[in-house]
């Protein structure tokens, strides 16, 4: 039997990490975990409790409630994809709005939030056979992952993709707002003190600005097969 490995995918926002991670997990028969969804779920909880909004963030109130936040994934019967469940409510749609995207980076910068989610992510990977995407997977969550990828693309390309996605979902947004959010999140995610977004030294860099989804997937699947054979 071939050995199961851990595949860590990090990179800037809207680089298509989750698309490729999901495709890869399906092709290899691995579990896929979208860690951004977990940070988004904590952010939604903080919004619903009134702890965070456009002009305020009561970090201490959120820290004091962390033990009340339960996040898990459940596979949707309709799509076959894992969806995020916050305290027994499926919040998959609610966490993808631009409103959550605007507030998630400050929440994800809180060390106590990170500690809680990283612990849960490490448990999810204990049997290997997992593809996990996020910002700190190759650097903090699984520094010993057999394969690490770091995805990037120009901010313009990324904002265009995200803008189309949000329009398709019926959100009323402008391209300028989406671009501003992408640039702003990159800045906060890469300059925060705890676990800033950075490429692990041993990560393979994938710039997909000029790659189609099919080209990108073929390239990454080859890399993954190589890593599995080597393991």
Give the residues lining the site for ligand DC (CB under 6 A). 13, 35-36, 39-40, 104-105, 108, 134-137, 185, 189
Please report how close the Cβ of residue 12 comes to ligand DC at its closest, in angstroms: 9
Give the shortest CB-107-to-ligand DC separation in angstroms.
8
Question: 110 and 192 in contact (C-beta within 8 Å)?
Answer: no
Residue number with CB closer to ligand DC (18 or 220) = 18
Indicate the pairing of strand 130-134 with strand 6-11.
parallel
Q: How far is the CB of 52 from ligand DC (least distance, A)?
A: 13
Nearer to ligand DC, 1 or 123 (CB): 123
Least Å distance, CB 60 to ligand DC, is 20
Residue among 160 and 228 whose Cβ is closer to ligand DC: 160
Report the residue count for the chain.
231
What torsion do the CA atoms of 180, 13, 93, 39 make, to the nearest 10 degrees?
A: -110
Helix (H, G, I), strand (E, B) or coil at 76: coil
* Percent of residues in the chain assigned helix, strand, coil, to nearest 5: 50, 20, 30
| Residue 40 or 161 having the CB closest to ligand DC | 40
């Amino acid at each position: 039997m071939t050995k199961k490995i851990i595949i860590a995918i990090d990179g800037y926002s809207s680089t298509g990490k989750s698309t490729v991670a999901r495709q890869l997990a399906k092709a290899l028969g691995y579990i896929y975990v979208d860690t951004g969804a977990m940070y988004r779920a904590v952010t939604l909880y903080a919004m619903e409790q009134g702890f965070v909004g456009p002009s305020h963030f009561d970090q201490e109130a959120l820290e004091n409630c962390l033990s009340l936040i339960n996040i898990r994934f459940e596979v949707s019967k309709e799509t076959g994809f894992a969806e995020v469940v916050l305290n027994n409510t499926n919040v998959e749609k609610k966490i993808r709005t631009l409103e959550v995207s605007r507030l998630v980076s400050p929440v994800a910068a809180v060390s106590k939030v990170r500690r809680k989610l990283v612990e849960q992510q490490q448990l999810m990977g204990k049997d290997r056979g997992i593809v996990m995407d996020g910002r700190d997977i190759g650097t903090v969550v699984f520094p010993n992952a057999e394969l690490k990828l770091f995805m990037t693309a120009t901010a313009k390309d990324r904002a265009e993709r995200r803008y189309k996605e949000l329009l398709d979902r019926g959100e009323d947004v402008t391209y300028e707002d989406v671009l501003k959010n992408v640039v702003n999140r990159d800045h906060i995610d890469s300059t925060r003190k705890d676990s800033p977004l950075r490429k692990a030294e041993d990560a393979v860099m994938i710039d997909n600005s000029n790659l189609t989804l099919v080209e990108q997937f073929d390239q990454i699947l080859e890399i993954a097969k190589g890593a599995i054979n080597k393991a």
